[in-house]
Amino acid sequence: MEKPVVRTKYGAYVGVEEDEVFSFKGVPYAKGPVGELRWKPPQPLGMSEETFSAEDYGPAPVQPLYFEKEYVSRQPQSEDCLSLNIWTRHPERSEAEEWGCPKENSYKRPVIVFVHGGACLYGGSCDTLYDGQLFVKRNDVVMVTVNYRLNAYGCMDLEEIGGPEYGFSKNLCLLDQIQAFRWVKENISLFGGDPNNVTAVGESAGGACVSLLMIMQEAKGLFGKAIVQSGSYSLLKREQTKTFTKEAAMTFVKMTGADTMDELLALSREEIDKTFDIFLEEYAPFADGICMPVLDGKTLPKDPYKALEDGAAEGIRMLIGSNSEEFNFWKLITPEFDQAIDEFFIPLHNVAKEDWEADVPIYEIYIENDHAGNILARKYQLANDLVFRDGSIAMAELQAKYGDTYMYSFEWQPVTGLGAYHGAELGFVFGTQDVVEELSGQMPEELIHSVQDAWASFAATGDPGHSGIPKWPKYNNKKRATMIIDQEWQVREDIRKEDRVLLRPLIKI
């Protein structure tokens, strides 16, 4: 069978057909950020008439293997990693004369652009967890997954040593994503997608990034809907921009032995990676938050909650939520995590707030309000609320004034006993249950279909409701309707109100 070819002004891409779905992998959306472009904003591609293979994934972003049990990408890695992957259904001949040359009246599908998580430290769209094949086979959408620069290459504040030219270095991860959305806006119609019906989806750090793209001027008009999975503004370094981030970056630079930006640029990838591994050991208690986006006064000039409150994301429809036992994931992979939780040492929250000690009295009241008698379990719930649930609720409160907003709580309990751990919903969204089988066990197929249908419905219409689940009301600050995603879906209002009210002042809008 003839392989599909899509022709863009940046070149022609040869894809693969599998089970009625066409994929194009490793498609570059920017110039390789290497050489003099290392630590610089992404640069648009030049025009080309060449033909490129898009049958295999491009390399994963460079990342440490420090967290061996985390979602670290095991795929080949490279600094030249700015690529994306596309899954689509073949247009009918009546819709397109040939690939890459759609007729004016051809049908265009809703587009989902997924931004992976991994604390902006690790991960990659080439990982099998994020394979879009099964989602697109079931739902008539175009799925795009994106690579972006991570850790020392995409999230390091080098302005002090490099000057204003490197003022954006701390948030290159966001600028890469924006460039990817620009590429999608310009080219996705050639793959059967509707450039005017794009939904940004992100999980964990990817969700936090999508949350920021919602309020960034540079991303205006690139997408009209957002699905934020366990990734609110609570994951960001809101108060540490001028202290923790800069100090950490200068510590890293000192460790490299470089005295100038030219010397830093001259370092090999191997030298940077070796130094970054040592750097992570130095900052181990804070590692999961050390490379998250920061308020730099440029890319992000205003506190994100305040920006959302002021209508910066007006018109964007949002589906947002978290999982009921997020921190069970770290309990599984991190030695002595029970002790860390028991000491109120909540790593991500600790990075996000300089004055976290001042909040301890509120933590103590929260713990004392436990009605089940399991103090350690209550402390895990506190961590879950502080880092994931509470920030999502605050975002829903603020955005509901400016765009249709829906909230969910993922609560499916796997037979492994882990509960709805961090990332547990991903296997349902992508249908890649074999990838997470060790953590989730057998996943009910009906629930996979229901989750996928909800995400696809939202991408198509801005409403996640479908015939297989109860009516999903919009979120508002009066009823606070939340869809419980489990084998039996149900809507509940203002879940755990007492905890929400107690912790709300910690958001500090």
CA 16 to chain centre: 26
Residue 198 CB-half CA count within 13 A: 27
Q: What are phi and psi of 89, to 5 degrees?
A: -90, 150
Cross-strand bridge partners of residue 52 = 13
- Crossing angle, helix 172-187 and helix 205-213, to 10 degrees? 70
Per residue in 381-435, pLDDT tens?
998 998 899 999 999 999 999 999 999 999 999 999 999 999 999 999 999 998 8
CB-based contacts of 500, cutoff 8 Å, min separation 6: 390, 393, 494
Token pair listed for 334: 């991190």
Instruction: Check residue 47 and report its DSSP letter.
Output: P
Strand segments, DSSP code E, in 341-400 are none
The closest of 109, 82, 248, 88 to 175, measured between CA atoms, is 82
- Give pLDDT, residue 96: 42
Give me the percent of the chain exceeding a pLDDT of 90: 71
pLDDT at residue 351 is higher than 70: no
Position 508 pLDDT exceeds 90: no
In CATH terms, the superfamily for domain 5-507 is Alpha/Beta hydrolase fold, catalytic domain (3.40.50.1820)
| Cα distances (Å, whole numbers) of residue 316 to 189, 389, 408 | 21, 21, 17
Percent of the chain with pLDDT over 70: 90
Range with lowest mean pLDDT among 97-111, 219-233, 248-262: 97-111
- Yes or no: say if 225 and 316 are a contact pair by the CB < 8 Å rule: yes
SS (H, E, C) 301-324: CCCHHHHHHCCCCCCCEEEEEEEC
Average pLDDT score, the chain: 90
- Is 371 catalytic? The answer is no
Beta strands 83-89 and 21-28 are: antiparallel
The helix/strand/coil state of 111 is strand
Indicate if 90 belongs to the active site: no
Residue of 79, 159, 326, 425 marked active site: 326
Q: Which residues pair with 319 in a beta bridge?
A: 227, 406
How wide is the angle at C-alpha 150 spanned by C-alphas 147 and 155, nearest 5°? 130
pLDDT of residue 92: 44
Q: Where are the beta strands (DSSP E) in 292-380?
A: 317-323
Q: What is the pLDDT of residues 270-329, one digit of tens each?
A: 999 999 999 988 876 667 778 889 888 888 888 999 999 999 999 999 999 999 999 998
Scanning 48-195, the segments in alpha helix (DSSP H) are 133-138, 151-154, 159-162, 172-187
DSSP H or E segment with residue 110: strand 109-115
Catalytic residue among 189, 204, 211, 457: 204
pLDDT of residue 94: 36
Tokens of 93: 């001949």
What pTM was computed for the model? 0.94
Q: What is the DSSP string of 146-169?
A: E----HHHHS---HHHH-GGGTTG
Average pLDDT of span 224-232: 97
DSSP state, 70?
Answer: S
Q: If residue 5 lies in a helix (H) or strand (E), which one and from where to where? A: strand 5-8
**Quick one: which of 324, 436, 428, 308 has its CA closest to 383?**
324
Chain-centroid distance, C-alpha 321? 13
Q: Nearest-5° angle of CA 165, CA 42, CA 40?
A: 25
Q: Is 20 a catalytic residue?
A: no
CB–CB of 74/47 below 8 Å?
Answer: no
Which secondary-structure segment (H or E) carries 208?
A: helix 205-213
Contacts of 188 (CB under 8 A, 6+ apart): 86, 111, 142, 144, 194, 195, 198
Give the separation between CA 439 and CA 419, rounded to whole angstroms.
10
Which DSSP helix (H) or strand (E) runs through 454?
Answer: helix 445-461
Higher per-residue confidence, 95 vs 473: 473
